[in-house]
Amino acid sequence: MAEDKNKLTPEEEKMAKALESKDAINQPKVEATDTEADNMEAAVAKGGLGKVNMADFGPDRAQSSDSALGWHVLDQTTLPSQGKFYPADSVIKIRSAKAAEIRHFSTMDENNYIDMEEKLNSIVESCSQMTSGKKRLSWKDILEEDRIVLLLNIRDLTFPEPENKLMLKGKTEKSKKQVDIELAVKNLIPTEIDEEIERYYDPKARTYVIKTRSAGEVRMHPPTIGVMQEVTNYLKDRQEKDVEFDKAFIQVLPYMQAEWRTLNLAKIFQLEVDYKAWDEKKFMVIYRLAERMRIGVSAELQTTFDGELVKAPLEFPGGIKSLFIISDLAGELL
């Protein structure tokens, strides 16, 4: 009776065979070729079985999903911030820009600062992602001054061909010989925060924790894209309502506010009210700290040619649109 209970019905046998067939399709049997077998035997004979890396033989493994989708991990040491204001376990990944994203970028009005910022940020938003451990962060958590490095790297992935490089005219420092210099991350010169400020950097808090006589303990760090977006929205609101704003306050605000998620027009207005209650000593301290805490890249590119230092002004040939719009059409004509 037990055998009858364990016996499959005709319908169950049919389903079992179907599942076996599906598994066979999804997990195909791979047989080693004669060449692979010979290579394995030679490796075992040379080093012994315990020294053979079996990963060197057999079919290639599938690519990671990130690699298949074109995502590349960005080296944070190439950023002006060197990644020190991000979580210690943060990872930034970038990919090339797609046609639709480039079309949107091409509508930029270079005479309109707000529109220009929106178009630059749209590329960063679409072509980058940031994580901390298993937590997904926002592209708005990226520092404003790190953006130029992301954009240039995204451009390199989008237009890898040598003829699409952005070239500038530079001069050797001594002989004044004219030399072409590429607008690339490798030729950027990051600015550095002086040691007097740097000694207040807290590696656990990932920010500057500065103790002062006039302002007490102050926490400051360079602004994120998200914070600068909210500041821009505030300026736009003031302009539309024809209301004056304190320019000095706008200069220090981005360095005082680390979290963009809680920042909005009402919060900025309240911060401005608090700011106006500062005495002159506190304002002086905060203002000077913000000035000396600026990071970014130098206004010049640098490289070497025949042992000489070459410099060129940091500018975009054909305007900032040339980041993703080819300005030299001659290279595309046959």
- Mean pLDDT, 10 residues at a time, over the chain (334 residues)? 49 46 40 50 52 49 59 97 97 97 96 94 98 97 97 96 90 93 95 93 97 93 96 92 92 94 95 94 94 93 94 91 77 59
- Which structure tokens are listed for 2? 């037990």
The answer to whether residue 62 is domain-embedded is: no
Do 275 and 314 reside in the same domain of the chain?
no
Do 19 and 104 reside in the same domain of the chain?
no
The answer to whether residue 11 is domain-embedded is: yes
> What's CA 156's distance to the chain center, in Å?
13
Range of the domain at 240: 195-292
Tell me, what's the pLDDT at 16? Answer: 43
Do 181 and 311 reside in the same domain of the chain?
yes
Do 216 and 319 reside in the same domain of the chain?
no
Asked whether 268 and 234 are in contact (CB, 8 A), the reply is: yes
The answer to whether residue 260 is domain-embedded is: yes
Do 19 and 142 reside in the same domain of the chain?
no
d(CA 17, CA 164): 56
The answer to whether residue 258 is domain-embedded is: yes
Do 273 and 305 reside in the same domain of the chain?
no
Do 184 and 83 reside in the same domain of the chain?
yes
If DSSP states are collapsed to H, E and C, what string results for 212-243? ECCCEEEEECCCEHHHHHHHHHHHHHHHHCCC
Burial grade of 7 (CB within 10 A; 0-12, 13-18, 19 or more):
exposed
Do 230 and 320 reside in the same domain of the chain?
no
pTM of the predicted model as reported, rounded to 2 decimal places: 0.78
d(CA 261, CA 138): 10
The answer to whether residue 184 is domain-embedded is: yes
The answer to whether residue 52 is domain-embedded is: no
The answer to whether residue 275 is domain-embedded is: yes
Do 186 and 207 reside in the same domain of the chain?
no
Do 101 and 148 reside in the same domain of the chain?
yes
Tell me, what's the pLDDT at 22? Answer: 36
Do 245 and 207 reside in the same domain of the chain?
yes
Tell me, what's the pLDDT at 45? Answer: 55
Number of domains in the chain: 3
Tell me, what's the pLDDT at 295? Answer: 92
The answer to whether residue 274 is domain-embedded is: yes
Do 216 and 242 reside in the same domain of the chain?
yes
